[in-house]
Amino acid sequence: MSHAVEIRDLHKSFGSLEVLKGIDFTVDEGQVVCVIGPSGSGKSTLLRCVNLLEQPTKGTVTVGGVELTDPDVDLDAARRRLGMVFQSFNLFPHMTVLQNVMIAQRRVLRRGRAEAERVARGNLEKVGVAAKCDDFPAQLSGGQQQRVAIARALAMNPSLMLFDEPTSALDPELVGDVLAVMRALADDGMTMLVVTHEMGFAREVADRVVFMDGGVIVEEGPPDQVIGRPQHARTRSFLSRVLDPGHIGEGVGGPGAPSDEAPGATG
């Protein structure tokens, strides 16, 4: 099985703040890997380094056999293989749902209008919002907007989907619809790297779970091991707080822990 993503000795600093401290891991073709951990652990920064929205300070990122950190790489061409879904939906408010899903196809892939519309409608059907084609984003719920964002990413025919806490901005009752779409993508064999706090999703859908804290990978393995029988005290402490919110104990990371909210690392 070939590696869809290969990360070696990845470091990222913002000034004197070192957010990633030597990350090594891989994602195989067709795998779903969920990255979990406390706020400020470096999860979102890691994801943004995978498609070079953040430039790593050191190390290499290879996606589909192409090293994105190579100074000579055609980054625009390499990024076309990647779909990314953010915490915020980032839809164009002045465009309809259909236009939002068509625009990148037209401008980046140079698809004709008829083909772009056919692909857009097909993907909107796949995520369950085909009836909203002529609506504007402001007319949609948060969950519907996020599903449109997923359809927009899928319309580019990516070989890898990156999700950065895609349900964190949603009201609780809307989370299930977005997770259902992601489950269906996983069932279809899409390679996915997901930063999430949805432990149920990670336990049910992930092939592997990576627990990060303080800019390093503390523990990784199958979900029944990492979530069900964690080996490290930091993992156990984090999960006790996430799975039992009423639990009071010493926080993971603690005061002064590096934050993903460093300049340039929002999201």
pLDDT digits (tens, 9 = 90+) for 159-194: 999 999 999 989 988 999 999 999 999 999 999 999
DSSP state of 131: G
Name the band, by pLDDT with cuts 50, 70 and 90, for residue 1: low
What is the mean pLDDT of the segment spanning 49-58? 94
Q: Supply angle C-alpha 42, 240, 225, rounded to 5.
A: 75
Tokens of residue 249, six digits = 């104990």
151: pLDDT strictly greater than 80: yes
Q: Model confidence at 81, in pLDDT bands (50, 70, 90)?
A: confident
Share of the chain above pLDDT 70, in %: 91
* pLDDT tens, position by position, 89-110: 899 999 999 999 999 999 999 9
| 137/139 Cα distance (integer angstroms) | 5
Q: Give 67-86 as a DSSP string.
A: ETTSTTS-HHHHHTTEEEE-
Q: What is the mean pLDDT of residues 5-33?
A: 96
Alpha-carbon torsion 141, 146, 152, 157, what sign? negative
Instruction: Enumerate the β-bridge partners of residue 8.
Output: 60
DSSP 8-state secondary structure symbol assigned to residue 250: P
pLDDT greater than 90 at residue 79: no
CB atoms near residue 256 (< 10 Å):
7
Note the helical H segments in the chain.
Answer: 43-50, 75-79, 97-107, 113-126, 142-154, 172-187, 199-205, 223-226, 233-243
Q: Cβ(162)–Cβ(51) under 8 Å?
A: yes
